[in-house]
């Protein structure tokens, strides 16, 4: 087993949290390096100047999907079947697009314009609705069984679980907390399935500053 160190802020954003959960639930040793911006940029691990980054035996892996696939294979949460691998990859691509769309609105300084932009993307035919509908469709293709790919838990499920929490928590002004639960039943079902896992509950109890409920 390689020596793993995850470089990120002390934050539970899905890009890092899916890596942490994968290792935690899969009993893969991981040094969870939660640092400030100066230490992050001085780590030598930010190949693209973005974070999180995964250090493997002193060498960096950047980009969320690459990190997730790597730890997924180590922990058993990445499929061995090529088709199911592609479906996991598809989920990460769609979720990244949706995330970039939302985070792109954070640069809008006027609060009213920011809310309006987010409300528009959440409308029927809006860009966020279109992207999340794609994820919803992938989950339907998998039999609406509350999982992303096949009949076993994957790293994509951990990523979606945390992303749904983020989108639905009420901190994103302009996006209703009921947006996903009312519009995307398969995505909400997956979120609820992962939420009730004992290992996930144990992780939340271990990190009470981020998971107070």
| pLDDT at res. 155 | 98
Q: Looking up tokens 């899905």, which residue turns up?
A: 14
Tell me, yes or no, whether 117 and 191 share the same domain.
Answer: yes
Question: Sorting pLDDT into bands at 50, 70 and 90, what band is 204?
Answer: very high
Tell me, yes or no, whether 44 and 87 share the same domain.
Answer: no
The reply to whether 164 falls in a domain is: yes
3-31 pLDDT, tens digit each:
999 999 999 999 999 999 999 999 999 99
Number of compact structural domains in the chain: 2
The reply to whether 204 falls in a domain is: no
> How many angstroms separate the CA atoms of 91 and 179, rounded?
19
Tell me, yes or no, whether 10 and 69 share the same domain.
Answer: yes
Q: Quickly list H helices, the chain.
A: 14-25, 37-41, 64-75, 82-104, 111-122, 127-141, 155-168, 179-183, 185-195, 198-206
**Is the CB of residue 6 less than 8 Å from the CB of residue 31?**
yes
Tell me, yes or no, whether 70 and 96 share the same domain.
Answer: no
In this prediction, residues 173-186 reach a mean pLDDT of 97
31-72 pLDDT, tens digit each:
999 999 999 999 999 999 999 999 999 999 999 999 999 999
| CATH number (domain holding residue 128) | 1.20.1050.10
In this prediction, residues 101-115 reach a mean pLDDT of 96
pLDDT at 212 over 90: no
Q: Which domain holds residue 36?
A: 4-76
> How many angstroms separate the CA atoms of 160 and 136, rounded?
11
The reply to whether 207 falls in a domain is: no
Tell me, yes or no, whether 153 and 174 share the same domain.
Answer: yes
Tell me, yes or no, whether 97 and 135 share the same domain.
Answer: yes
pLDDT at 213 over 80: no
What is the DSSP secondary structure assignment for residue 208, as one 8-state letter?
A: T
Tell me, yes or no, whether 134 and 88 share the same domain.
Answer: yes
Q: What percent of the chain has pLDDT over 70?
A: 100
Tell me, yes or no, whether 87 and 146 share the same domain.
Answer: yes
Tell me, yes or no, whether 70 and 89 share the same domain.
Answer: no
The reply to whether 97 falls in a domain is: yes
- Tell which of 20, 52, 76 closes a domain: 76
Tell me, yes or no, whether 94 and 180 share the same domain.
Answer: yes
The reply to whether 205 falls in a domain is: no
Of residues 125, 21, 114, 136, the one with CA closest to residue 67: 21
Tell me, yes or no, whether 87 and 187 share the same domain.
Answer: yes
Tell me, yes or no, whether 102 and 170 share the same domain.
Answer: yes
């Amino acid at each position: 087993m390689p020596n793993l160190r995850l470089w990120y802020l002390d934050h539970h954003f899905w890009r890092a949290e899916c890596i942490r959960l994968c290792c935690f639930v899969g009993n893969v040793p991981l040094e969870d390096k939660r640092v400030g911006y100066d230490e992050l940029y001085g780590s030598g691990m930010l190949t693209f100047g973005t974070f999180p980054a995964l250090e493997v035996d002193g060498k960096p892996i950047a980009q969320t999907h690459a990190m997730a696939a790597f730890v997924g294979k180590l922990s058993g949460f990445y499929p061995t079947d090529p088709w199911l691998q592609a479906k996991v990859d598809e989920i990460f691509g769609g979720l990244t697009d949706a995330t970039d769309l939302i985070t792109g609105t954070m640069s809008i300084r006027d609060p009213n314009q920011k809310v309006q932009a987010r409300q528009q993307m959440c409308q029927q035919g809006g860009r966020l609705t279109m992207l999340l509908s794609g994820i919803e469709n992938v989950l339907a293709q998998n039999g609406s069984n509350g999982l992303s790919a096949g009949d076993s838990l994957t790293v994509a499920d951990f990523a979606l679980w945390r992303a749904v929490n983020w989108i639905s928590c009420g901190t994103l002004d302009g996006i209703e907390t009921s947006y996903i639960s009312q519009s995307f039943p398969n995505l909400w079902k997956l979120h609820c399935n992962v939420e009730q896992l004992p290992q996930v509950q144990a992780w939340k109890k271990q990190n009470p500053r981020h998971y107070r409920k």
